[in-house]
């Protein structure tokens, strides 16, 4: 036995000596640089890529198999374009464990790594040929090779990832990484720093992370103890960003379990005109299959922007239960918003129940109490008290809200359902017994905030942004018993709405208003220059109160029908007015044209003809009016200018025609009314007008639409009177007429001959 052991040891020693001698000889005589061209050619044939080895290749054989490379680069497949490169690299592997199929790496050192990873529109990566095809479950059945790396050092790396399908590009520059031993179940220190940049997100973040890492790849378990992470830079419109996260975090991705003990997150930064401050404090959060537990968790946030400020504090008292049945509460949220002198204070309360496995959650007794304070409000403030229930199913990307409550003096109720989170898809059914939108917005009844000098309404130059329509798909209806909006009053309001593809359609929209009814449709299309379409029919409507409430115009009274078919586009209210196109028609009965008494003007014309020459301009006097039994007109609207040439207004005393332009875009009008006295002896005011029968008076309306000036064209009227007198004198001299005696009123004396001559005289005289 002793001799056998002796000879065995001697034999083993001899083998080691021989092996050592062989390795020494190989190390002394073998130069890997002699095989550079063969290596480059092999890479070219196998991958279609060009490998460049500019420096010498260093090689060590025992006790570790190591290789050192100088400047090295690798091209894209079948292309001269660079894929990756590095300044130097060193990798060493222990030799003896390889005999047991264990890969134990002494060290991995990379310096100056440069690489660009691209995913094309078909979803393929430019590294797929290097990684090789994915293994099937059968391929993975064999015993796995154990990976054990003593340390990793990466210095000054620069890696870019470009996703051509998503249009995103991310870059990690100045990447430095140092670790201890990396192996399953081994805790190792990790020190990472990098600059993360994204053009699409307008981000440049200087990131630093220190922690003790423990992982198990087979169980998909990852732990970061003593996590200390900081991020500084800019993201989107946030500059001076400073974010920190501290605590201990564990994630079991295979089972979806998480533990944080504790976790503190703080974020601060600056936005245009304001600041951002967010803080999360979670002392202990455990989400496992057997246990769900958390202490008091507090989230605080402060956001400010251009005179507006939001402050919120959300507190969850505790979380208890199991993974499949948890409860969190009480849930309290205090929110305060300030903007333009208005303050909104809201308190939200309830309790959360849920199932983390199915990802379903409920707030069955949600309560919202809010108070809005604003000096512009009639009472200085109003209250809202809403109660409801919320349901969320994250797996199905759906959510729902049922609510009832009071909004000031209005009783409101409704249902809102989210059928998809991204892109957002919503259905809704909203109801209110009454709603005064102007009152809630702080607008005084009938108030118009317009500039006294320009006449423009407040906010007329504010940009209209409908970009939110591009991210939402929605459909639903709104019903309101009594509605006041933009100073218009209506009842039995109903609108069916649909949002899709950046377009809002409201069809049909109906209401009862101003003694009549409204029916039609509205639409809006999101774009750089938003497009709006209005198709409305108002029947039996009292136009006077409607115009006064809608546009502060008090120039017309009457009851009848208004039809509108208009389109416009623009990014401001002023631009919309100037781009208005389409058609409109009006047909009224038993009304009046305010600001001018045409009949009274004609009755006094006889006395003024002898005294006046030219025109006399007067402002409209709204105490005067011209009554009519019927008024009809159609308008062709082009580029904000409404043109009309067929106005017809009738009354027992007058016949009025009209033509001209109403420039809606510039709030001006240039319009001519032609009024003719008909054959009656008494008119408005009761003065005798027998000697003015058939006289036509041109009246020019100019100036602002809501307060025009009128000018009576007396020169034109005198010419018309003179033409009438010439015609009468010529007709008196027709055969059968006695000198100095006018033609009989019935016209029978001259018969058809007289009528023919009269018509010819009108043509000659321009009447």
Domain parsing of the chain, residue ranges: 26-132+145-200, 486-579, 590-634+644-732, 733-765
**Do residues 250 and 259 touch, judged by C-beta distance below 8 A?**
yes
Tokens encoding 399: 């959510």
Question: Alpha-carbon distance 601 to 713, whole Å?
Answer: 11
Q: Which residues lie below 8 Å from residue 201, measured CB to CB, with a gap of 6+?
A: 235, 236
> In Å, how far are 86, 154, 178 from 193, measured between CA atoms?
19, 10, 9
Q: What is the pLDDT of residues 607-634, one digit of tens each?
A: 555 454 444 545 555 567 778 899 999 9
Question: Alpha-carbon distance 221 to 253, whole Å?
Answer: 6
Using alpha carbons, select from 630, 626, 656, 629 the residue that is nearest to residue 644. 656
User: What is the reported pLDDT for 2?
Assistant: 43
Give the distance, in angstroms, between the CA of residue 201 and the centroid of all CA atoms in the same chain.
Answer: 17
Residue 766: is it exposed, middle or buried by C-beta count within 10 angstroms (0-12/13-18/19+)? exposed
> In Å, how far are 310, 346, 380, 644, 725 from 343, measured between CA atoms?
10, 10, 11, 48, 74
DSSP 311-358: EEEEEEEEEEEETTEEEEEEEEEEEEEEETTEEEEEEEEEEEEEETTT
Degrees (nearest 5) of the Cα angle 498, 501, 506?
A: 25
Beta pairing class for 308-322 and 72-75 = unpaired
DSSP 105-123: EEEEEEES-EEEEEE-TTS
Degrees (nearest 5) of the Cα angle 756, 760, 765?
A: 150
**Overall residue count recorded for the chain in this entry:** 767
Consecutive H or E run containing 27:
helix 2-29
Q: Which residues lie below 8 Å from residue 10, measured CB to CB, with a gap of 6+?
A: none
Helix orientation angle between 714-732 and 751-765, rounded to the nearest 10 degrees: 150
**Do residues 553 and 704 touch, judged by C-beta distance below 8 A?**
no
Question: Alpha-carbon distance 251 to 285, whole Å?
Answer: 12
Residues of the chain with pLDDT under 50: 1-26, 140-145, 448-459, 610, 612-615, 617, 681-691, 740, 743, 745-750, 761, 764-765
Using alpha carbons, select from 728, 643, 660 the residue that is nearest to residue 698. 660
Tokens encoding 219: 């169980």
Question: Alpha-carbon distance 194 to 156, whole Å?
Answer: 9
How much of the chain is helix, strand and coil, in % rounded to 5?
A: 15, 55, 25
> In Å, how far are 386, 601, 692 from 608, measured between CA atoms?
70, 10, 13
Give the distance, in angstroms, between the CA of residue 522 and the centroid of all CA atoms in the same chain.
Answer: 19
Question: Alpha-carbon distance 166 to 121, whole Å?
Answer: 8
> In Å, how far are 271, 425, 502, 571 from 465, measured between CA atoms?
20, 20, 12, 7
Cis check: omega of the bond before 239, within 30 degrees of 0: no
**Do residues 266 and 244 touch, judged by C-beta distance below 8 A?**
yes
Q: 540: helix, coil or strand? A: strand
**Do residues 401 and 426 touch, judged by C-beta distance below 8 A?**
no
Tokens encoding 601: 């003007």
For residue 28, count other CB atoms closer than 10 A to its CB.
8
Question: Alpha-carbon distance 514 to 363, whole Å?
Answer: 43
User: What is the reported pLDDT for 602?
Assistant: 64
**Do residues 661 and 673 touch, judged by C-beta distance below 8 A?**
no
Give the distance, in angstroms, between the CA of residue 552 and the centroid of all CA atoms in the same chain.
Answer: 32
Tokens encoding 122: 């078909």
Consecutive H or E run containing 603:
helix 598-609
Q: Which residues lie below 8 Å from residue 601, measured CB to CB, with a gap of 6+?
A: 675, 697, 699, 712
Question: Alpha-carbon distance 695 to 306, whole Å?
Answer: 63
Question: Alpha-carbon distance 113 to 72, whole Å?
Answer: 9
Question: Alpha-carbon distance 517 to 546, whole Å?
Answer: 12
Q: Which residues pair with 566 in a beta bridge?
A: 534, 582
For residue 106, count other CB atoms closer than 10 A to its CB.
17
Cα atoms in the 13 Å half-sphere on the side-chain side of 256: 8
Map tokens 């402050």 to a residue.
311
Give the distance, in angstroms, between the CA of residue 760 and the centroid of all CA atoms in the same chain.
Answer: 67
DSSP 218-232: TTTEEEEEEEEEEEE
User: What is the reported pLDDT for 461?
Assistant: 64
Q: Where are the alpha helices (DSSP H) in 552-592?
A: 573-578
Q: Which residues pair with 747 in a beta bridge?
A: none
Question: Alpha-carbon distance 627 to 596, whole Å?
Answer: 10
Report the chain's C-alpha Rg in angstroms: 44
Longest dimension (CA), the chain: 173
Question: Alpha-carbon distance 388 to 417, whole Å?
Answer: 13
Q: What is the pLDDT of residues 236-250, one digit of tens each?
A: 989 999 999 999 999
Residue 752: is it exposed, middle or buried by C-beta count within 10 angstroms (0-12/13-18/19+)? exposed
Q: Which residues pair with 536 in a beta bridge?
A: 520, 564
Using H for helix, E for strand and C for coil, what is the string for 722-755? HHHHHHHHHHHCCCCCCCCCCCCCCCCCCHHHHH
Phi (first) and psi of residue 421, to 5 degrees: -80, -40
């Amino acid at each position: 036995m002793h001799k056998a052991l002796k000879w065995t040891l001697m034999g083993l020693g001899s083998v080691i000596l021989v092996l050592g001698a062989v390795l020494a000889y190989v190390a002394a005589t073998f130069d890997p640089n002699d095989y550079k061209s063969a290596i480059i050619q092999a890479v070219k044939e196998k991958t279609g890529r060009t490998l460049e080895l500019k420096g010498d290749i260093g090689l060590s054989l025992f006790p570790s198999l190591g290789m050192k490379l100088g400047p090295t680069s690798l091209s894209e497949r079948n292309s001269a374009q660079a894929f990756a490169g590095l300044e130097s690299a060193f990798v060493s592997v222990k030799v003896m464990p390889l005999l047991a199929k264990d890969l134990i790496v002494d060290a991995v050192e990379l310096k100056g790594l440069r690489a660009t990873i691209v995913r094309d529109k078909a979803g393929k990566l430019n590294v797929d040929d290097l990684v090789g095809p994915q293994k099937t479950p059968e391929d993975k059945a064999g015993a796995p090779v154990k990976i054990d790396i003593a340390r990793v050092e990466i210095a000054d790396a620069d890696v870019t990832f470009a996703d051509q399908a998503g249009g995103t590009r991310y870059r990690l520059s100045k990447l430095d990484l140092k670790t201890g031993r990396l192996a399953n179940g081994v805790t190792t220190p990790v020190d990472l720093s990098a600059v993360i940049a994204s053009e699409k997100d307008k981000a440049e973040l200087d990131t630093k992370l220190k922690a003790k890492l423990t992982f198990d790849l087979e169980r998909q378990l990852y732990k970061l103890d003593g996590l200390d992470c900081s991020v500084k830079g800019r993201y989107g419109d946030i500059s001076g960003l400073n974010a920190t996260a501290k605590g201990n975090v564990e994630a079991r991705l295979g089972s979806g379990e998480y533990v944080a003990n504790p976790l503190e997150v703080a974020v601060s930064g600056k936005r245009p005109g304001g600041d951002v401050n967010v803080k999360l404090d979670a002392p202990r959060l455990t989400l496992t299959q057997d246990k769900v537990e958390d202490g008091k968790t507090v989230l605080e946030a402060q956001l400010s922007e251009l005179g507006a400020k939001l402050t919120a504090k959300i507190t969850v008292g505790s979380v208890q239960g199991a993974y499949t049945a948890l409860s969190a509460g009480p849930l309290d949220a205090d929110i305060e918003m300030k903007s333009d002198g208005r303050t909104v204070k809201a308190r939200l309360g309830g309790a959360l129940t849920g199932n983390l496995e199915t990802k379903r959650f409920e707030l069955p007794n949600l309560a919202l109490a809010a108070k809005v304070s604003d000096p512009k409000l009639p009472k200085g403030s109003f209250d809202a008290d809403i109660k409801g229930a919320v349901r969320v199913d994250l797996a199905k990307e759906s959510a729902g809200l049922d609510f009832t409550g009071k909004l000031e003096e209005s009783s409101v109720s409704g249902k809102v359902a989210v059928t998809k989170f991204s892109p957002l898809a919503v259905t809704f059914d909203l109801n209110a017994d009454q709603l005064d939108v102007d009152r809630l917005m702080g607008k005084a009844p009938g108030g118009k905030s317009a500039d006294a000098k320009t006449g423009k309404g407040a906010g007329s130059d504010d940009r209209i942004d409908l970009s939110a329509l591009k991210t939402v798909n929605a459909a639903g209806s709104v019903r309101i018993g009594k509605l006041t909006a933009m100073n218009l009053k209506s009842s039995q309001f109903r609108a069916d709405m649909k949002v899709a593809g950046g377009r809002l359609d409201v069809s049909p929209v109906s209401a009862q208003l101003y003694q009549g009814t409204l029916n039609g449709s509205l639409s809006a299309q999101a774009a750089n220059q938003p497009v709006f379409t209005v198709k409305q029919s108002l029947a039996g409507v009292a136009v006077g109160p409607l115009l006064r409430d809608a546009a502060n115009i008090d120039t017309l009274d009457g009851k009848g029908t208004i039809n509108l078919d208009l389109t416009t586009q623009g990014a401001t209210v002023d631009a919309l007015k100037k781009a208005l196109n389409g058609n409109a028609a009006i047909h009224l009965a038993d009304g009046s044209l305010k600001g001018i008494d045409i009949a009274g003007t004609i009755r006094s014309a006889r006395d003024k003809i002898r005294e006046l020459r030219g025109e006399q301009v007067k402002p409209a006097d709204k105490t005067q009016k011209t009554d009519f039994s019927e008024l009809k007109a159609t308008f062709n609207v082009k580029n904000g200018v409404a043109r009309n040439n067929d106005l017809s207004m009738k009354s027992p005393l007058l016949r009025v025609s009209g033509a001209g332009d109403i420039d809606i875009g510039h709030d001006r009008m240039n319009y001519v009314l032609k009024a003719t006295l008909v054959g009656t002896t008494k008119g408005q005011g009761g003065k005798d007008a027998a000697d003015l029968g058939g006289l036509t008076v041109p009246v020019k309306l100019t100036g602002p639409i809501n307060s025009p000036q009128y000018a009576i064209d007396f020169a034109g009227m005198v010419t018309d009177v003179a033409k009438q007198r010439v015609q009468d004198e010529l007709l008196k001299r027709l055969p059968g007429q006695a000198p100095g005696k006018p033609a009989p009123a019935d016209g029978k004396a001259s018969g058809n001959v007289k009528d023919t001559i009269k018509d010819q005289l009108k043509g000659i005289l321009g009447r």
